[in-house]
Amino acid sequence: LTQPGKIAMVYFNKKDADEYVGFINYLQEEKTLGPKIEYLELEDLQGVSGLKALRVDVLTD
């Protein structure tokens, strides 16, 4: 889930994902985040299943 130079946002439902994508799109327009959004399905954790994540590059220049 975590990788150097990237930010990840974990979510459970589509409504949250849509909200995160809106924030990501804004920061992409500002050239703060890279253009590619990765959509990830996370492994089940003890007592928690169905988590997903968005991951995107952070631009440092």
pLDDT 10s per residue in the chain (61 long)? 999 999 999 999 999 999 999 999 999 999 999 999 999 999 999 999 999 999 999 999 7
**Left if phi > 0, otherwise alpha if psi is -120 to 50, otherwise beta: which for 40?**
beta
H/E stretch holding 41 reads: strand 33-41
Q: Which domain holds residue 49?
A: 6-58
In total, the chain counts a number of residues equal to 61
Is there a domain that residue 1 lies in?
A: no
pTM summary value: 0.89
**15-32 residues labelled b (16+ CB within 10 A) or e (exposed):** eebeebbeebeebbeeee
Instruction: Please tell me the predicted confidence (pLDDT) of residue 58.
Output: 98
Backbone angles phi, psi at 57, to 5 degrees: -70, 140
Counting the structural domains of the chain, the total is 1
Instruction: Please tell me the predicted confidence (pLDDT) of residue 61.
Output: 78
**In which residue are the tokens 């924030």 written?**
23
